[in-house]
Amino acid sequence: MEITNNWFLPALILVPFIAGFACWLVDKIDQHLPRYIALAGMLVTLVITIALWQSGTYTYELGAPTPTWSAEFMVPWIQTLGINIHLAVDGLSLLMVGLTALLGVLAVGCSWGEIQKNVGFFHLNLLWSLGGVIGVFLAIDMFMFFFFWEMMLVPIYFLIALWGHSGANGKSRVYAATKFFIYTQVAGLIMLIGILGLVIYGYLMTQTISFSYNHLLAVANALDANAQTATIAYGFMICLFIGFAVKLPVFPLHGWLPDAHAQAPTAGSVDLAGILIKTAAYGLLRFVIPFFPVASAQFADIAIIFGLIGIFYGAWCAFQQTDMKRLLAYTSISHMGFVLLAIYAGNILTFQGLMIMMLAHGLSSAALFIMCGQVYERLHTRDLRLMGGLRSQFQYLPFFLMFFVSALVGIPGLGNFIGEFLILMGSFGKFPAFTILAAVSLVFAGLYGLILIHKALFGAPNEEQKQHYTSPLKDLNAREVVILLICAFGLLWLGLYPQTFLDVSNSSMAWLANSYIPVQEVVDATQQVVSQQNVEIQ
């Protein structure tokens, strides 16, 4: 079939790369110029995404062997190895790209006053990491996907190592950056084993070397459905799962996240919490579930148990934190447990709930990390023990902090509530016990949210720390208020009228649910037949 190339797709990746390079080139001319170029680059990326949204059609063909792409772009690359520059977008990837572009604009905005050294090189790394993330969401050639998956990690390493908050002799930020890099590189290597294994088996089955999504989807399905090769398929599925689980992060592979968040600059934390961990959920939805439906159905209980442990572990660790950023980092670990429950429950309700939750969590966590930066800029500390009484010293900051904490813990009327509600409602039929446990964990989310608000905003200011404050404390300026209002508006939109986004993602999620559920039914039916035969033999 002839593909009509849509040049918007490569533009989505190239614009951040070109803008980032331009930021680095003009750094010596004027220190403020890179900020404007970076902002313009991400705004152009956001406009292109909106144009794709408006021009795309999101329909679902019942029984279609592959997702229905709204737009595609393909150019031959390394034809000997069956590698093409093949980009495609559907409802799932489009919403993820839109989130990336929007948070990219906010990341540039929130670092406007924070970053004062090597401004051009900072924006090069920030925009290249965002360009790499967009490449992950668009690439459907597995070689290209892995290329962008690895490439986006290098700029984030530099963001943490060069502009992070340093401890003694600057060791803390380098340690955190190195820990992040080692975790993700080892996970990437394991994922690469799974991808290459599929390519090799594809060659043995068809005598064709190809990294194409459609080709590897057919190969993986064939391995997965065949009883003789099911063990091999399960092994490949585990390789891909581990690659994505480290980035999500899933307990006990989460060790890099709290340190990375605590040391990263504000824009780096926005990148990590709002966007980077969403690439892992996207990878599970795009590759693991449709490639290996039978193996995934067999692995579902284990994955959900790890997710539930992560929910309670993350909440418990959040209680223990005195650093505002580390507390929020552990809340991300807690919330990602819901992602595994949604994915492995595997029906249209949970998939759609996951879509809303990823968008809402991206906005709420990004806004809270931006607020951490704003508080640090004014108080010169993130230690909750040294705060207190901020409510009486600011006009706008307390309102926004309470609003976004409310969003994070799932107050009705905001996006997080809709996502969690759909996930719990959709998963109860298949996993009632797991769903009840997940619902109980929402109580803990409310508690650590209240602890954060109480320690920061109420009570009396800490007298030892108060001497370091400027008097009076400077409230949020117009730029900071606009950034937070954008996040607040997005959360209200998701909470009050989520149908806008559900309509776009419905075709992708319906295809995923259709490819996963029938296979589970076949597995259940097979087990039922086997048990009946055993009864007859006895």
Dump pLDDT digits (tens) for 207-233: 888 899 989 998 888 888 888 888 899
The structure tokens 């994922």 sit at 191
In a domain, 461, yes or no: yes
Per-residue pLDDT at 147: 93
How far apart CA 473 and CA 282 sit, in angstroms, is: 42
Question: Which is nearest to 12 in space by CA: 118, 115, 122, 104?
Answer: 104
Number of H helices, E strands in the chain: 22, 2
Higher pLDDT, 147 or 2: 147
Most confident of the ranges 25-39, 65-79, 162-176, 346-360:
346-360
Residue type, position 292, single letter: F
150 vs 538, more confident: 150
Calpha distance 243→281 (Å, rounded): 11
Average pLDDT value for residue range 232-245: 92
DSSP string, 128-186: HHHHHHHHHHHB-BHHHHHHHHHHTHHHHHHHHHHHSPP-GGGHHHHHHHHHHHHHHHH
Domain-embedded: residue 502 = yes
Q: If you average pLDDT over every residue of the chain, what do you get?
A: 85
Quote the number of domains for the chain: 1
**Would you say 271 and 315 are in contact if contact means Cβ atoms under 8 Å apart?**
no
Residue 391 lies in a domain: yes
In a domain? residue 535 = no
Instruction: Report yes or no: 238 and 302 within 8 Å, Cβ to Cβ.
Output: no
Domain that holds residue 437: 321-508
Neighbours of 123 (CB within 10 A): 32
User: Around 516, how many Cα atoms within 13 Å sit in the side-chain half-sphere?
Assistant: 28
User: In this structure, which amino acid lies at residue 470?
Assistant: T
In-domain check, residue 86: no
pTM value > 0.75: yes
Average pLDDT over residues 83-106: 92
pLDDT at 470: 61
420-448 CB burial, b ≥16 within 10 A, e <16: bbbbbebbbebbeebbebbeebbebbbeb
**Is 498 a member of any domain?**
yes
In a domain, 491, yes or no: yes
At 383-416, the pLDDT tens digits run 788 787 777 777 888 889 899 999 988 888 988 8
Q: Tell me: the pLDDT tens digits for 102-137?
A: 999 999 988 887 777 888 889 999 999 999 999 999
Under the banding of pLDDT at 50, 70 and 90, the label for residue 172 is confident
With respect to residue 339, please indicate whether it lies within any of the assigned structural domains.
yes
State the Cα–Cα distance between residues 61 and 159, nearest whole angstrom.
Answer: 43
Tokens 């879509």 correspond to: 355
pLDDT recorded at residue 522: 45
Is pLDDT of 238 > 90? Answer: yes
Residue length, the chain? 538
Residue 79 has pLDDT above 90, yes or no: no
Instruction: Give the three-state DSSP class for 347.
Output: coil
pLDDT score, position 285:
92
